[in-house]
Chains A and B, each alone.
Chain A
Amino acid sequence: MEVEGPASKSVTWGREPLTRATASYTLHDDRFQLQQRVYDRQFAQLYFYRLLKLRPAVSASAKRRWPSCTEVRVIDAVEDVDCVLVGTLYKEMKLKPSILDEYVKDKTTQQHLGRTRFTSPDDKLVLEDEGARIVLTGPVVPTASLVTGVVASVRGRILPSGEFCVSEICYAELGAQPVAPPPLSLHSPGSGPQVTRAPARYIALTSGLGIGDAGADPLPLQLMVDYLTGALGGREEQTLASGVVRMVIAGGLLASSAALARAGTYADARTREGALAGLRDADAALSQLAAALPLDVMPGEADPANASLPQQALHRALLPWAAAAGEGLVRASNPHEFDVEGVRFLGLSGQNVDDVVRYAELDDRTEVLEWMLRWRHMAPTSPDTLAAYPFHDRDPFVLDTCPHVFFAGNQPEFGTRMVTGEAGQRVRVVSVPAFSASPCLVLVNLDTLACHPIYFNAESMDT
């Protein structure tokens, strides 16, 4: 940085300008794109494809664990013979809201409204394959931590009552992982002396910016933008910020799209301007970020994108300034899969995790994400309770390729864990909190997969 001195002798601060690190980037969102949209198809097609796609992996997993037991179709299973069944699980929950409840005269059944979790001790699991279904019983069945739509394999025997008494259960487990680029493998346990590449490169993750909420404090967001553009902090913070090669906003750009939906074509100019105010603020913030570093924006639940998964990318017209800004804005779908220097990232805006938490007794969000990796499916409750497009020729939520980093946005708090697979896969699972609730930027180190949060809490500013 040069400063013109009073005697026209240039004075430098003695430091070179910092340049941001770069990294190669490849997008893998093809399977989430919707071309022609046919909505009058039944979901049986999607469930059939899911079962057929996951069955080989689940069967292989069952064969590895129980080599002596033969796998049969549900309809061919014989009573009181130890056998293995593979199928899709369905959880019968009496508290699950049903459209038919509107027609029930007895108002006492309305008790489930207002609940955030619909599990009860009476929930039953049913295993279904193409031909038949059978109820699963026994103390081994982890009913509380399973949801509808998981493809699993059970070992046990059929009781005289017609139910299947489960002795063991297994899932597809983690899929094949693409080969990690050399720095990652150097840092795996059991390898030689660690070699660090200077400087460390990071991917920044955040979600739930909640722009457009009139009562919200704009300071944390501005602090984060300043931090990433290098306008905040001393040399150390700037060096760290210059190592951030890409930022991903995992959904939740706007606090709510209700105002946008209300201001229709016939609304007056003032209503329209009011509705667009939130979007313009978001565009302004994103254009600052997009000018400084490559940015990926995923749509969230309250954003102006389609309601069912996979959500398509936000339209370019919604973010005109950001789309025109320098480094490049990638308007991504939800789910979003991409490669940075060979490290595979896969993330969602959180609707899948929130839905699983509603229908299972799981509270730790990183545990839910780990289960999804083990079930090899990132949205098992779709299309049952989570709106999804009725695919017939693919199920894009099946995790054929195991990512290196698996994240979900809009969660209540930050959490992370390392998941290891049976074939040596290592996945960094990150639960990214909603910025409007917990102002946090998560940095994932590209070389070591270490992850740490940076908080921009501004409460201490008030005296």
Chain B
Amino acid sequence: MSSAVWSSFRQKRPGSETARPESKAGSGTKPAAAPSIESLDAEEVEALLRQFDMTSKYGPSMGVTRLERWERAVDLKLNPPKEVKELLDLPTSNPKSCFDW
């Protein structure tokens, strides 16, 4: 949740664009250069969804599917990024949180 976790997590992601604004933890995923959803491969999709799982602003991610968590965030007016819903609509994306298996 702290900035240290965010920056270390960001470094792990392959091919990340540097144009991402250095914002407080909890800003969610927002690809600044916005590559189209179709151009991302499975690994990048999973990495972006993992970022959504790790964002504590939307609550604990364990035990709920990513879609349920996204819909709850919409219900609580937390404005989760719409890209996450688009990524979840892809057949290759894992519906469960990265902490569940």
A131 touches B1 (CB 8 A): yes
User: With the chains together, A12 CA to B76 CA distance in Å?
Assistant: 66
Chain A residues positioned under 8 Å from B60 (CB to CB): 42, 44-45, 48
Q: Is A52 an interface residue (CB 8 A)?
A: yes
Chain A residues positioned under 8 Å from B75 (CB to CB): 393
User: With the chains together, A52 CA to B62 CA distance in Å?
Assistant: 17
Within 8 Å by CB of B68, from A48, A52, A75, A393, lies A393
Q: A131-B1, A131-B56 are in contact. Are A41 and B72 (CB under 8 A)?
A: no
User: With the chains together, A42 CA to B60 CA distance in Å?
Assistant: 9
Q: A41-B64, A45-B64, A53-B76 are in contact. Are A393 and B71 (CB under 8 A)?
A: yes
A42 touches B56 (CB 8 A): no
Q: Is B59 an interface residue (CB 8 A)?
A: yes
Q: Is A371 an interface residue (CB 8 A)?
A: no
B72 touches A393 (CB 8 A): yes
Chain A residues positioned under 8 Å from B63 (CB to CB): 40-42, 44-45, 390, 392
Within 8 Å by CB of B59, from A49, A75, A131, A390, lies A49
User: With the chains together, A393 CA to B60 CA distance in Å?
Assistant: 12
Within 8 Å by CB of B76, from A41, A49, A390, lies A49
User: With the chains together, A211 CA to B57 CA distance in Å?
Assistant: 50
Q: Is A101 an interface residue (CB 8 A)?
A: no
Within 8 Å by CB of A52, from B1, B64, B71, B76, lies B76
Chain B residues positioned under 8 Å from A52 (CB to CB): 59, 76, 78
User: With the chains together, A68 CA to B59 CA distance in Å?
Assistant: 30
Q: Is A130 an interface residue (CB 8 A)?
A: yes
Chain A stretch 31-80: residues in CB contact (< 8 A) with chain B: 40-42, 44-45, 48-49, 52-53, 75
Q: Tell me the minimal C-beta distance from B54 to chain A in angstroms.
A: 13
Chain B residues positioned under 8 Å from A42 (CB to CB): 60, 62-63
A45 touches B56 (CB 8 A): no
Chain B residues positioned under 8 Å from A40 (CB to CB): 63
In the complex, per-residue mask of B36-71: 1 if CB is within 8 Å of any chain A CB, else 0: 000000000000000000001101101110001001
Q: Tell me the minimal C-beta distance from A221 to chain B in angstroms.
A: 45
Q: Tell me the minimal C-beta distance from A215 to chain B in angstroms.
A: 47
In the complex, per-residue mask of A342-365: 1 if CB is within 8 Å of any chain B CB, else 0: 000000000000000000000000
User: With the chains together, A50 CA to B57 CA distance in Å?
Assistant: 14
Q: Which residue of B lies closest to A38 (CB)?
A: B63
B76 touches A392 (CB 8 A): no
Q: Tell me the minimal C-beta distance from B93 to chain A in angstroms.
A: 20
Chain A residues positioned under 8 Å from B59 (CB to CB): 44-45, 48-49, 52, 130
Q: Tell me the minimal C-beta distance from B42 to chain A in angstroms.
A: 27
Chain A residues positioned under 8 Å from B68 (CB to CB): 392-393
Q: Which residue of B lies closest to A40 (CB)?
A: B63
Chain B residues positioned under 8 Å from A390 (CB to CB): 63
Chain A residues positioned under 8 Å from B56 (CB to CB): 130-131
Chain B residues positioned under 8 Å from A75 (CB to CB): 1
User: With the chains together, A99 CA to B60 CA distance in Å?
Assistant: 25
Q: Which residue of A lies closest to B76 (CB)?
A: A52
User: With the chains together, A425 CA to B60 CA distance in Å?
Assistant: 35
User: With the chains together, A265 CA to B60 CA distance in Å?
Assistant: 42
User: With the chains together, A53 CA to B62 CA distance in Å?
Assistant: 20
User: With the chains together, A393 CA to B1 CA distance in Å?
Assistant: 22
Chain A residues positioned under 8 Å from B1 (CB to CB): 75, 131
B72 touches A49 (CB 8 A): yes
In the complex, per-residue mask of A72-113: 1 if CB is within 8 Å of any chain B CB, else 0: 000100000000000000000000000000000000000000
Q: Which residue of B lies closest to A42 (CB)?
A: B63
User: With the chains together, A49 CA to B71 CA distance in Å?
Assistant: 12
Q: Tell me the minimal C-beta distance from A397 to chain B in angstroms.
A: 17
| Residue among B1, B59, B64 with max Cβ neighbours from chain A (10 Å) | B59
User: With the chains together, A392 CA to B59 CA distance in Å?
Assistant: 10
Q: Tell me the minimal C-beta distance from B73 to chain A in angstroms.
A: 9
Chain B residues positioned under 8 Å from A41 (CB to CB): 63-64
Q: Tell me the minimal C-beta distance from A438 to chain B in angstroms.
A: 43
Q: Which residue of B lies closest to A131 (CB)?
A: B1
Q: Which residue of B lies closest to A56 (CB)?
A: B77
Q: Which residue of B lies closest to A55 (CB)?
A: B76
Chain B stretch 65-101: residues in CB contact (< 8 A) with chain A: 68, 71-72, 75-76, 78
17 extra interface residue pairs, beta carbon distance < 8 Å, beyond A41-B64, A45-B60, A49-B72: A40-B63, A41-B63, A42-B62, A42-B63, A44-B59, A44-B60, A44-B62, A44-B63, A45-B64, A48-B60, A49-B76, A131-B1, A392-B63, A392-B68, A392-B72, A393-B72, A393-B75
| A-to-B contact residues, CB < 8 Å | 40-42, 44-45, 48-49, 52-53, 75, 130-131, 390, 392-393
24 contacts between A and B (CB under 8 A): A41-B64, A42-B62, A44-B59, A44-B60, A44-B62, A44-B63, A45-B59, A45-B63, A48-B59, A48-B60, A49-B59, A49-B72, A52-B76, A52-B78, A130-B56, A130-B57, A130-B59, A131-B1, A392-B63, A392-B64, A392-B68, A393-B71, A393-B72, A393-B75
* Cβ-closest 3 pairs across A and B: A48-B59, A41-B63, A44-B60
